[in-house]
Amino acid sequence: MPLISLQPASLALTEADVPYSPAYNDIYHSREGGLQQAQQVFLAGNHLPGNWQQRDAFVIIETGFGIGLNFLSTWAAWRDDPARCETLHFISIEKHPFSAEDLQQLLSQWPGLEPLADQLLQSWPCLTPGIHRLRFEQGRVVLTLVFDDVLSALKNLNTGVDAIYLDGFAPNRNPDMWSLPVLRALAQLSVEGTTLATYTVATAVCDGLSDVGFNLQKQAGFGGKKDMLVGEYRVPRKRVPQVRPQQAIVIGAGLAGCQIGAELARRGCNVVMIERADAPAQATSGNWAGCYLPAPSRDDNLSSRLTRAGFLALQQRLPGLQVQYPELGWSACGVLQMGKDQDDEIMQQQTAAALLHPLNHLQYLDQSEASTRAGLAVPAGGWWFGTGGWVRPADLCQALLASGGGNISAQWGVSVASIQYRLGQWQVRDAQGALLAEAPVLVLANASDVGMLLPQIPLPVTRIRGQVTHFPQGVLPDFSPVLCRDGYVLPPVAGRHVLGATYDFGVDDENLRALSQNRNLQRLESLLSISDQPFIQMPLNGRVGFRCVSGDRMPIVGAMPDMQHDIDAGTRLSKLPRLPGLFCLSALGSRGLVWSGIAAELLADQICGETLRLEQDLADALDPARFHLRNLRRDKQAC
């Protein structure tokens, strides 16, 4: 489990202006020069740039990001190398990251790195636990920052690495960083020929690295150090090659389908989108507007972590998408989630205090403070998400399709009746048996209809009806943020408010229902202290959609299981047989705006064999095969 709260680093300098950590009583880099240390110890020690030349992809892992000099030096060397690898993946773990303001001050000492440092600082993530991914050079340089304890982070990574920057405070100052379990976890990510370099030659480090499978050699050290250590992994373990498919089919063009289509297109794949409606985002993703916000919990559970990752990824992506599609409607107006009652407000206050997230991401406001933020008197205090807001889902789908450029083609108004795997290709056919498309990769992103095409793979998904109510602008009092409590109400979006949404279990009616609208109207008093009475006779005005929800309320994302094999109940999830090239992205529930993007990034990583965007325990929690394995284990216990 990642850290529930994250303690940022403190800005401190020695008398010689070398960055210093009071917590560990050690400096961040050699007194003789951090940039030169990065170049001699970590790049040259790993035979870079030579080792990455002519490679499609090269993966480096670093055990302490610090102030970022190793990454920036590596990025600069990559840019200067005409024979550089096509994609550079740099994974860096940091338990105590600096704030962007402190990092800017520290990096100002190296004006030669300013162009790259500025890009890093502009993309610097919110200081919350978990994985944060930054892309540079049109996606050819990928920085995966893991804000977590090093051992927890390494155990939760799913990747193969080509080079290791074994960095961090000195072994006698931070022994946990150099422990045998940490070295063993690094070895588990290594393949035959993986190189490593570190500034230390401490006996315990040398012995530990040798024990876990590295051949080691001492070399002349940097600055005041006589020696440094380099090594190469000697165990004959092969790396699973990264294979980006040239072609893929995506069935469904709501948020799920458009997100995965855009992710695959961004990686150079030609994607065919097939949608039974005559345009994208015509089902639930066609709602007028929806809100996006995190879902904090005091124990930072799996759902909270997934929602936070998706929320941060969405707010990071929206500005760039708007450049490609200026019509994209969205606003980071803030979201106030009020407590339902006094006990709920106490829980919210305690949760915010336990998580210690940055205040612009999460803070608790009492009723008076909340009213000030909202711009009108609200009935309760609650969580304030300063970077939350609203998005128009149909606009988002159009922006995603536009971002794919010529790599995305679409077939609108086409219904898929069957799919078949033949000669390494998935064939998609209509009701008359006509071939619509074929490709080695097929993604089912058609919500609850996923089971219709694969009846042999039972997925526990259900449809839950939801109805929202629309008000013309001017009918409700003025307020600026999204207000949530028992339901939500949006500030004016293109001339109308959106209020909702109902959970109508067991109802399949696609038409507006007066009963559902009345339930929405009853939420007004909870949200705005406005009686629903003046609106009772309001004509039906709104929209109906159907959420797709899984049995455990988590999305379904990943490779589909092959049910024809006999599997022991004790089989690990990662060892379950899969149908080749068949994947699913579904069951986004009521969090489609927040979950769809992060789920698509994860799925694209899985399809292309790249470093996963999410921790392995989160990927496992979304795996389509989890239900099959749970059923096997339940049946075994029943025997």
Please check whether residue 602 is in contact with residue 622, taking contact to mean a CB–CB distance below 8 angstroms: yes
Position 639 scores a pLDDT of: 60
Please check whether residue 122 is in contact with residue 150, taking contact to mean a CB–CB distance below 8 angstroms: no
Q: Which residues of 174-184 are buried (b: 16+ CB within 10 A; e: fewer)?
A: beebbbeebbb
Q: At what angle do helices 203-211 and 180-189 cross, to 10 degrees?
A: 40
How much of the chain, in percent, has pLDDT values that exceed 70? 99
Average pLDDT of 239-263?
A: 93
Position 574 scores a pLDDT of: 86
Position 519 scores a pLDDT of: 92
Task: Give the pLDDT confidence of 393-405 residue by residue, as tens digits.
Answer: 999 999 999 999 8
User: How far is residue 139 from each of residues 187, 309, 321, 327, 583, measured CA to CA in Å?
Assistant: 28, 19, 14, 24, 23
Q: 532 or 477: which carries more pLDDT confidence?
A: 477
Q: 571 or 274: which carries more pLDDT confidence?
A: 274
User: Which helix (H) or strand (E) element contains residue 528?
Assistant: helix 514-528
Task: Give the pLDDT confidence of 133-169 residue by residue, as tens digits.
Answer: 999 999 999 999 999 999 999 999 999 999 999 998 9
User: Which helix (H) or strand (E) element contains residue 595?
Assistant: helix 592-608
Average pLDDT of 305-325?
A: 96
Average pLDDT of 215-228?
A: 91
Position 524 scores a pLDDT of: 87
Average pLDDT of 539-565?
A: 94
| Amino acid at the residue 212 | V
User: How far is residue 305 from each of residues 1, 128, 188, 352, 615, measured CA to CA in Å?
Assistant: 10, 10, 25, 15, 10
Average pLDDT of 318-326?
A: 94
Interatomic CA distance for residues 555 and 459, integer angstroms: 11
Average pLDDT of 18-39?
A: 89
* Residue 493 DSSP symbol: B
Q: Of 180, 175, 174, whose CA–CA distance to 154 is shortest?
A: 180
pLDDT of 183 > 80? The answer is yes
Task: Give the pLDDT confidence of 87-143 residue by residue, as tens digits.
Answer: 999 999 999 999 999 999 999 999 999 999 999 999 999 999 999 999 999 999 999
Helix ranges (H only) for 8-61 are: 34-37
What is the bridge-based pairing of β-strands 335-338 and 382-385? antiparallel
Confidence tier at 78 by pLDDT (50, 70, 90) = very high
Please check whether residue 259 is in contact with residue 591, taking contact to mean a CB–CB distance below 8 angstroms: no
pLDDT of 245 > 70? The answer is yes
Residues comprising the chain, all counted: 639
Please check whether residue 398 is in contact with residue 324, taking contact to mean a CB–CB distance below 8 angstroms: no
Strands (E), 141-200: 141-147, 161-165, 190-198
Task: Give the pLDDT confidence of 585-607 residue by residue, as tens digits.
Answer: 999 999 999 999 999 999 999 99
Task: Give the pLDDT confidence of 201-215 residue by residue, as tens digits.
Answer: 999 999 999 999 999
Task: Give the pLDDT confidence of 37-72 residue by residue, as tens digits.
Answer: 999 999 999 999 999 999 999 999 999 999 999 999
User: How far is residue 521 from each of residues 382, 493, 494, 537, measured CA to CA in Å?
Assistant: 22, 19, 21, 11
Interatomic CA distance for residues 4 and 6, integer angstroms: 7
Average pLDDT of 179-194?
A: 96
pLDDT of 628 > 90? The answer is no
Whose structure tokens read 């106030």?
A: 336
Interatomic CA distance for residues 197 and 188, integer angstroms: 17
pLDDT of 582 > 60? The answer is yes
pLDDT of 193 > 60? The answer is yes
Terminal-residue alpha carbon distance, the chain: 33
User: How far is residue 155 from each of residues 73, 212, 593, measured CA to CA in Å?
Assistant: 27, 15, 29
Task: Tell me if residue 447 falls in helix, strand or coil.
Answer: helix
Q: What are the φ and ψ backbone dihedral angles of 390, each rounded to 5 degrees?
A: -130, 155
| Amino acid at the residue 188 | Q
Position 636 scores a pLDDT of: 67
Domains in the chain, ordered, with CATH?
A: 20-233 (3.40.50.150), 247-282+395-460+551-638 (3.50.50.60)
Please check whether residue 228 is in contact with residue 238, taking contact to mean a CB–CB distance below 8 angstroms: no
Please check whether residue 363 is in contact with residue 352, taking contact to mean a CB–CB distance below 8 angstroms: yes
Position 135 scores a pLDDT of: 97
pLDDT of 30 > 90? The answer is no
Position 451 scores a pLDDT of: 85
Average pLDDT of 427-436?
A: 97
Interatomic CA distance for residues 152 and 261, integer angstroms: 32
User: Which helix (H) or strand (E) element contains residue 119?
Assistant: helix 114-123
How much of the chain, in percent, has pLDDT values that exceed 90? 84
Confidence tier at 417 by pLDDT (50, 70, 90) = very high
